[in-house]
Amino acid sequence: MAQPLVKKDDDRDDEADYSPFLGIEKGAVLQEARVFNDPQLDPRRCSQVITKLLYLLNQGETFTKVEATEVFFAVTKLFQSKDIGLRRMVYVMIKELSPSADEVIIVTSSLMKDMTSKTDMYRANAIRVLCRITDGTLLTQIERYLKQAIVDKNPVVASAALVSGIHLLQTNPEIVKRWSNEVQEAVQSRAALVQFHALALLHQIRQNDRLAVNKLVSSLTKGSVRSPLAQCLLIRYTSQVIRESANTQAGDRPFYDFLEGCLRHKAEMVIFEAARAITELNGVTTRELTPAITVLQLFLSSSKPVLRFAAVRTLNKVAMTHPMAVTNCNIDMESLISDQNRSIATLAITTLLKTGNESSVDRLMKQITNFMSDIADEFKIVVVEAIRSLCLKFPLKHRSLMNFLSNILREEGGFDYKKAIVDSIVILIRDIPEAKETGLLHLCEFIEDCEFTYLSTQILHFLGIEGPKTSDPSKYIRYIYNRVHLENATVRAAAVSTLAKFGAMVDTLKPRIFVLLRRCLFDNDDEVRDRATLYLNTLGGDGAVVQTGEDVKEFLFGSLDIPLVNLENSLKNYEPSEESFDIYSVPREVKTQPLAEKKAPGKKPTGLGAPPAGPPSTVDAYEKLLFSIPEFANFGKLFKSSAPVELTEAETEYAVNVVKHIFDGHVVFQYNCTNTIPEQLLENVTVIVDASEAEEFAEVASKPLKSLPYDSPGQTFVAFEKPEGTPAIGKFSNMLRFIVKEVDPSTGEAEDDGVEDEYQLEELEVVAADYILKVGVSNFRNAWENMGADCERIDEYGLGPRESLAEAVNAVIDLLGMQPCEGTEVVPNNSRSHTCLLSGVYIGNVKVLVRLQFGLDGPKDVAMKLAVRSEDESVSDAIHEIVASG
Amino acid sequence: MLLAILVSNSAGNILLERFNGIPSEERLHWKTFMVKLGADNLKGARNEELFVASQKSVYIVYTVLGGVCIYIVGKDDYDELALTEVMFVITSSIKDACGKSPSERLFLDKYGKICLCLDEIVWQGILENTEKERIKRLIGLKPPNPTEI
């Protein structure tokens, strides 16, 4: 991309104010390149032409094949010149031109001559050029020289050969792997850069040999590494060894002392690398983390922006897993909010939001308000998401956080930013009941002046669901009806539906809603008029204050109990005829995500994307799915569905995971199966479950999957009966059984005959936590007081030696499967005692609150006091039983 | 991997670009992104003051040197601190080649020499030399001083 050069006034008078490349043209330069063919070479002139060619190439200009070949052949003539400066330029030029395989031969002999030259610098450069343009055959010819070069006493030659090796390893790994003895020798070199390059190459050669990498790290961590760059590499390789040995070795973490020692290195690069490696250790303890955090804290106040950025970026990551460990740095990070580098400021803010405590929220919000006006939308979205998490962590602070969100909603911003704010408000309304009314009013004010149709319609839909359930639904009507006057047809139609919902749900508002709906009958848009007509007729438009029938509500506003994808497919397949479309013909089975999506990282449910989103919608979908299967229809209300548990390892022939559905007297296992072999079709797929280690369970039904084609997931179910209302537990072994048929890849057709086959799956457990729903409370103390001490049960337990207090806390939370409240799942640094608050709903819809008090008894032994309050003393006892037997 | 080295003048016109491992169709996007980054942040910046940014999994370190702006993009091993090291080598070698912090004109005058320096510093995305004295000798095909090993 040749850009016109803009001339710039120069500060020196004696420099002419034109560019040496002014008006440069490729054609003219190629003409000039003929000077390379002169019998009497002028080295200075030739160097100038090469510079021009380099200028063109470095500006993104490309040469056609013919042009490149012509220049290449001309450049090779320059090997005749003995001028050193010109020879150096020739090396660069050949590399830049990257000649094709059939042209390379022209220079090979010249380069090989240079490679064996007595002049070290010719050797080094010739190696680099040859390796750049070489192919496998030529490489075998020069391999001997390269191996010698690796151990050459001139460091430039050795480095050239080693870096060549790093590049060649990508294309000719077998050849380069043969050099490992020489590379090993080079690792011991006294020249810092040679050691750095040799270490990089040696690791690449041996990276798949765990033992060899371990040995390499062991020897180098004891010896001296000469350059900071090599030391950084060593730290990285050491972390890899630690990661891989974590599961196999007991006791103290190997090489931790080395990493900790690097924190005192004189090079900042090494200190930072070691600090980052420590923070990324699996299951890092507070004791291990502390020295790393201390050096990162020092970097926060460095005068170098790069160090501040690196430190705050690392601390931001640490705050996700160990927020309390970072709190000591909060004061330093607060001063970074005004950093002129906005990336640093945003990272500081989001870290503070993760680590702040309840009392610092208000102060933090004040600082953020000033900051928000001068950052880009992409940074603002990150901040909004952090504020949402903070509000969910400290629900009592919803007022100030909601106000902040509402204020920034009124300011300028693009769609993504506004959507992030609206999504956050919606999530807060759903999760924090106290925030509902103020949140809805903020949304109402926003749609008065909202330029995005998508957001307006989504908010109107949400208002229709939540508004009628508030204490004074009438106050929302004005905002909604204003939309009918002021907006485009899409928003008007959404507003009509919302009005109708208020009419259907709030009987006292019905007559007034009908007046408004009747006005919509004269709208100039078909859809708006059609909706108004439909609602008026079905809701009883005569204006009488009568209760709307449940069936009408269900018909108008109930969610379709069929998956929308299936409905869409059926409608596409429907051919207009005398016979009307039958909605009951639409299949109800939910197809799980196809392979590609499943492997993608899970995206968090957002607020308005598909209301009602989040966990409730999953449960609803499961409930509908199970209800549509006759065998399970009489199991009653679904209490809980677990997250999918993988029963196969990644990338196996068949991928199977299971969802445990808990009913009062039954458990249904939903096996989601995916066939990953394109040449196979599976039929009559079932899971044979052996419940011999689950005595209280008896199999009552099984629903096979008729057909499981490639990459099109399907489900099979097995149901068990269990004693009603009790948290029966047990272990189940699973075997996938099916008929496999070969598929012709060219036609996609399966053979008629199949073979029965089986595939062993992992075991599955039903545990006590499956019988407890994670349901949080916004104010634990109030909830605890209100519950009263009538059914309280308190006892003490010794948890034995534990790695840390935090590990013990997490283990109990996982065992009970309850929702941690008010951020108490996080254990502060160095603390010797901790209180954790949990809440949940036990099977049979009994609310349970748990207060766990942990204390360190001796160096590692953890003792715990468990207080349980619930609405039923047998449930309080059951919780104690779970802990006692866990 | 060092994905790119870019030098522009203060108006944002590209003087030199070297990409490694970035497909040609994505290069324009990267150039636009970096020039915008410079336009947003480098105005009034001190000579050789380092700026840093990250975009997805890549890091960008950039600075102003006399009349030119230099941008380096890296990923994986070449994080913000490694890039700082590379930037230091590049700026000191350019100053060495030009005799001082270059104006745009001086940079273009010494273009050939600067290309040679970059060739010694970075080879297809891998850092090769870090000592300006050594680089100075290498571009003249002179061996490094035995004392600097």
Per-residue model confidence as pLDDT tens digits over A245-291: 765 444 567 788 999 999 999 999 999 999 999 999 988 888 889 99
Whole-number pLDDT of residue A467: 92
Is the pLDDT at B91 greater than 70? The verdict is: yes
Token pair recorded at residue A293 = 């955090």
pLDDT at A246: 60
Q: Where is average pLDDT lowest: A268-277, A734-743, A788-797?
A: A788-797
Please give the mean pLDDT across all residues of chain A: 84
Candidates A7, A9, A88, partner chain B, best to mutate (most B CBs within 10 A): A88
What would the mean pLDDT of A649-667 be, rounded to a whole number?
Answer: 87
Tell me which chain A residues have a C-beta less than 8 angstroms from the C-beta of B145: none
Q: How far is CA A873 from CA A772, A848, A880, in A?
A: 16, 10, 11
- pLDDT tens digits for A107-153? 888 888 888 888 888 889 999 998 888 877 788 888 999 999 999 98
Q: Can you tell me the distance from the alpha carbon of A464 to that of A456, in angstroms, rounded to the nearest whole number?
A: 12
Task: Report chain A residues whose CB lies below 8 A from the CB of B15.
Answer: 5, 58-59
Higher pLDDT pick, A433 / A18: A433
Q: How far, in Å, CA of A664 to CA of A721, rounded? A: 9
Candidates A3, A5, A121; nearest CB to B141:
A121
Size of the A and B interface in Cβ pairs below 8 Å: 157
**Chain B, nearest residue to A345 by Cα:** B53
Q: Kind of pairing, strands A819-820 and A846-857?
A: unpaired
Average pLDDT of the residues in A450-479: 92
Q: Above 80 in pLDDT, residue A859?
A: no
Residues of B whose CB is below 8 A from A90: none
Provide the terminal-to-terminal Cα distance of chain B, rounded to the nearest Å. 25
Mean of pLDDT values over A687-710: 89
- Distance from C-alpha of A570 to C-alpha of A515, rounded to nearest angstrom: 38
Residues of chain A with pLDDT > 70: what percent?
Answer: 91
Is the Cβ of B48 closer than 8 Å to some Cβ of chain A?
Answer: no
- Which residues in chain B are contacts of A347 at CB distance < 8 A? none
- Residue A817's identity, in one-letter code, is G
Task: List residues bridging with A661 in a β-sheet.
Answer: A641, A668
Greatest mean pLDDT among A376-380, A412-416, A565-569, A604-608: A412-416
What is the value of ipTM here, to two decimals? 0.92
Q: Which of B128, B129, B132 to mutate to test the interface with A (most CBs of A within 10 A)?
A: B128
Overall average pLDDT of the A621-650 stretch:
82
How close, in Å, is residue A370 to chain B by CA atoms?
20
Of A3, A12, A84, the CB nearest to B140: A84
| CB–CB contact A190 B149 (8 Å) | yes
* A207-259 pLDDT, tens digit each: 888 888 988 899 888 877 888 899 999 999 999 898 887 654 445 677 889 99
Phi, psi for residue A666 in degrees, rounded to 5: -140, 160
Q: Is the pLDDT of residue B24 over 60?
A: yes
Tokens encoding A803: 């790695």
Q: Cβ B15–A59 below 8 Å, yes or no?
A: yes
Q: What is the pLDDT of residues A505-532, one digit of tens each?
A: 888 888 889 999 999 999 999 999 999 9
Using pLDDT thresholds of 50, 70 and 90, give the confidence band for residue A678. confident
- Band the pLDDT of A542: cuts 50, 70, 90: low
Question: Contact at 8 Å (CB) between B71 and B83?
Answer: no
Residue of B nearest to A376 (CA): B40
Question: What rounded mean pLDDT belongs to chain B?
Answer: 90
- The distance from CA A746 to its chain's CA centroid, rounded to whole angstroms, is 37
pLDDT tops 50 at residue A605:
no
A732 versus A678: the higher-pLDDT residue is A732
Give the integer Cα–Cα distance in Å for A189 and A150.
Answer: 10
What is the nearest CA distance from B61 to chain A, expressed in angstroms? 8
Q: Do B104 and A8 touch (CB under 8 A)?
A: yes
How large is the angle between the packed helices B111-121 and B80-98, nearest 10 degrees? Answer: 150
**Minimum CA–CA partner of B62 in chain A:** A306
- Show the 3-state SS of A511-538: HHHHHHHHHHCCCCCHHHHHHHHHHHHH
How sure is the predictor about A597, in pLDDT bands with cuts at 50, 70 and 90?
A: very low
Instruction: Write the CB contacts of A329 (distance below 8 Å, at least 6 apart in sequence).
Output: A293, A296, A297, A300, A315
CA–CA distance, A170 with B1 (Å, rounded to integer): 13
What is the reported pLDDT for B142? 84
Tokens for A57, please give them: 């190439």
- Contact yes or no for B82 and A229 at CB 8 A: yes
Mean pLDDT of B13-23: 91
Contacts of B108 in chain A (CB under 8 A): 19-21
Distance CA B132, CA A25 (A): 33
Report yes or no: B77 at the A interface, CB cutoff 8 Å.
yes
Q: Is B144 on the interface with A (CB under 8 A)?
A: yes
Q: What is the DSSP letter of A375?
A: S
The confidence score (pLDDT) of residue A829 equals 67
3-state secondary structure of A178: coil
Whether residues B140 and A85 touch (CB distance < 8 A) is answered with yes
**Does A723 sit behind a cis peptide bond, omega within 30 degrees of 0 on the bond before it?**
no
Report the pLDDT averaged over residues A633-643.
Answer: 83
- Average pLDDT estimate for A159-164: 93
| Separation between Cα atoms, residue A155 and residue A133, nearest integer Å | 23
Is pLDDT larger for residue B76 or for residue A594? B76
Least CB–CB distance from A341: residue in B13, B51, B103: B51
A169 or A254: whose pLDDT is higher?
Answer: A169
Q: Residues for chain A: how many in total?
A: 886
Residue A144 structure tokens: 């001997």
Q: Is B16's Cβ below 8 Å from some Cβ in A?
A: yes
With beta carbons under 8 A apart, name residues in chain B contacting A310. 52, 79-81
Cβ–Cβ of B108/A191 closer than 8 Å?
no
Look up tokens 């939001």; give the residue.
A353
- Amino acid A8: pLDDT: 43
CB contact under 8 A, B13 and A4: yes
Task: Average the pLDDT over B53-80 and give the result.
Answer: 91
Q: Does B103 touch chain A (CB under 8 A)?
A: yes
The residue type of A518 is R
Q: Is the pLDDT of residue A619 over 90?
A: no
pLDDT range class, residue A13, cuts 50, 70, 90: very low
Alpha-carbon distance B81 to nearest alpha carbon in chain A (angstroms): 6
- Beta-carbon count within 10 A of A170 CB: 9
What pLDDT sits at residue A431? 83
Query: How close is the nearest chain A Cα to the Cα of B91, in Å?
Result: 16
Q: Which residue has the tokens 């009507």?
A: A477
Chain A CB contacts of B62 under 8 Å are: none
pLDDT band, very low/low/confident/very high, at A595 (cuts 50, 70, 90): very low
Query: Is B101 touching A (CB cutoff 8 A)?
Result: no
Give the closest residue to A91 by CA, choosing from B115, B62, B100, B50: B115
Instruction: Flag whether pLDDT at A390 surpasses 60.
Output: yes
Average pLDDT over residues A382-397: 84
> Inter-chain contact B144–A156, Cβ cutoff 8 Å?
yes
Residue A409 has pLDDT above 60, yes or no: yes
Q: Do B17 and A58 touch (CB under 8 A)?
A: yes
DSSP state of A80: G
- Find chain A residues with C-beta within 8 A of B74's C-beta: none
Q: What's the confidence (pLDDT) of residue A98?
A: 77
pLDDT tens across A300-342, in order?
Answer: 999 989 999 999 999 998 988 888 888 889 889 888 988 888 8
Q: Which is more confident, A54 or A752?
A: A54
Position A357: which residue type? N
Average pLDDT over residues A39-59: 91
Highest average pLDDT, of A556-570, A624-638, A816-830, B78-92, comes from B78-92
Closest C-alpha to A703, from A721, A690, A722, A684 = A684
CA dist A67 → A32, A34, A104, A636, A846 (Å): 13, 12, 16, 79, 82
Judged by DSSP in three states, A709 sits in coil
Residue of A1, A11, A236 with shortest CB distance to B28: A1
pTM: 0.63
All residues of chain B having their beta carbon less than 8 Å from the beta carbon of residue A313 are 54, 80
Contacts of A191 in chain B (CB under 8 A): 149
Q: Is B139 on the interface with A (CB under 8 A)?
A: yes
Nearest alpha-carbon partner for A531 in A564, A492, A558 = A492
Which tokens belong to A546? Answer: 């009568």
B61: nearest CB among A132, A163, A306 = A306
Distance, CA of A364 to CA of A356 (rounded, Å): 8
pLDDT level of residue A603 (50, 70, 90 thresholds): very low
Average pLDDT over residues A6-20: 52
Average pLDDT score over residue span A754-771: 88
Q: For A293-324, give one letter per residue: b (16+ CB within 10 A) or e.
A: bebbbebbeeeebbbbbbbbbbbbbbbebbbb
Distance, in Å, from the CA atom of A614 to the CA atom of A610, rounded to the nearest integer, reads 9
User: Tell me, what DSSP letter sits at residue A827?
Assistant: P
Q: In angstroms, how far apart are the furthest CA atoms of chain A?
A: 108
Is the per-residue pLDDT at B149 higher than 70? no
Of A388-392, A502-506, A825-829, B48-52, minimum mean pLDDT range: A825-829
Interface of B with A in 108-137 (CB under 8 A): 108-109, 111-112, 115-116, 119, 123-124, 126-130, 134
Q: Do A19 and B108 touch (CB under 8 A)?
A: yes
Place of tokens 């792997």: A177
